[in-house]
Amino acid sequence: MYDLGPMTDKFSEAAQKVIYRAIEVSKSHNHNWLYVEHIFAALSDVENALFTETLVSRGIDPRGLLDLLNQELAKKNQYVGNKMYIADTTRDLLNRALKRARSQGRQQIEPYDLLDTLFTNQTGTPADILRFLGLDPLYATEALSPKVSSREESKTSRMIFISYRRQDSDDITGRIYDRLVQHFGKETIFKDVNSIPLGVDFRKFLGDAVGQCNLLLVIIGRQWLTSENESGERRLDDPRDFVRIEIEAALQRGVPVIPLLVQGTSLPGEKNLPSSIQELAYRNAISIRTDPDFHYDIDRLIKGIELHFKK
């Protein structure tokens, strides 16, 4: 599979699928350049519903458009070799799609950013084909906008809070975070309270942060239950313990809580927990194992999270 290199983290998992599909389209035409036409064709496949609904709403037959697109691709020069290059026009498209994503408060490109950017581009083969079919590309953008807005509202309503102890599970938490960001987007995952303003009640601050989320993931490793503070007291027994406050806030606000068991640990029993978070002992947990099972377990977790978001 083609390596997107440093740009990989700029694409959501869905957008990566579009790019990889575009590379397949390029190779199927014996091209070793990635053109915007390849991305346009890939979007018709990976984002078929959005692509089709937008064009049909403007009286355009998507099949006729794709036939014309394939005719244009067949005219491009063919090459021999395995290396794939990115055309300047494609780099420009990706950069503008990233700017669009960031203007919406996101750090990763989604497929609809690519489609919107293609429609707003007044030059190039996709725009020429749309005009040939009697549709101004900007008119297609107007049809796309409400559909995109609906998707963006759906994404911004998804928030996942990750509660963990650095000294207990920092490394595995980083891997879990990376996979969740890849699937749901960076703006959806709340992992660290990096700076609590001076003079602010940190209990309220943490409670409000948890309250803004739809789901709390509690990562529990071998030292999570027994970890001690500088005074030799168990952290969980301290009402000021951040992890305890985060779980209390979620339970009090009715935020779903999923314990993630790492390092081969088990879910703590009710008697081992402070009374304010004893409900945690009855929450259905999932084990996250190390390689070679890590990605399988994370895929199961992602499916479970998606089910929560659909409720």
Q: What is the pLDDT of residues 133-181, one digit of tens each?
A: 888 888 777 877 776 666 665 555 678 999 999 889 988 999 999 999 8
| CATH 1.10.1780.10 placement within the chain | 5-154
Q: Most confidently modeled of 95-99, 205-209, 261-265? A: 261-265
Instruction: Name the segment(s) of the chain with CATH classification 3.40.50.10140.
Output: 157-310
* Local confidence band at 283 (pLDDT 50, 70, 90 cut-offs): very high
Amino acid found at 214: N
Residue 104, pLDDT > 50, answer yes
Q: What is the pLDDT of residues 176-233, one digit of tens each?
A: 999 998 888 777 888 876 556 778 788 888 888 888 888 999 999 999 999 998 889 9
CATH superfamily entry for domain 157-310: Toll/interleukin-1 receptor homology (TIR) domain (3.40.50.10140)
Give pLDDT, residue 202. Answer: 83
Q: How far apart are CA 245 and CA 256, in angstroms?
A: 15
pLDDT at residue number 3: 52
- What are the pLDDT digits (tens) for 8-32? 678 887 888 899 999 999 988 888 8
pLDDT in tens, 35-59: 999 999 999 988 888 888 888 888 8
C-alpha to C-alpha distance for 51 and 148, rounded to whole angstroms: 11
Residue whose tokens read 């030799």? 232
Those residues with Cβ within 8 angstroms of residue 197's Cβ, 6 or more apart along the chain or in another chain? 205
Distances (CA, A) of 116 to 87, 98, 104, 212, 286: 19, 11, 13, 29, 38
**Prediction pTM value:** 0.55
DSSP 189: E
pLDDT beyond 80 at 122? no
Using CA atoms, how far apart are residues 140 and 193, in angstroms rounded to an integer?
Answer: 42
Of 154 and 99, more confident: 99
Q: Residue 228 has what pLDDT?
A: 92
Please report the pLDDT score of residue 288 as a whole number: 97
Q: How far is CA 82 from the centre of its chain?
A: 30
CATH of domain 5-154: 1.10.1780.10
Please give the mean pLDDT across all residues of the chain: 86
| pLDDT for 81 | 63
| Mean pLDDT calculated for residue range 225-245 | 93
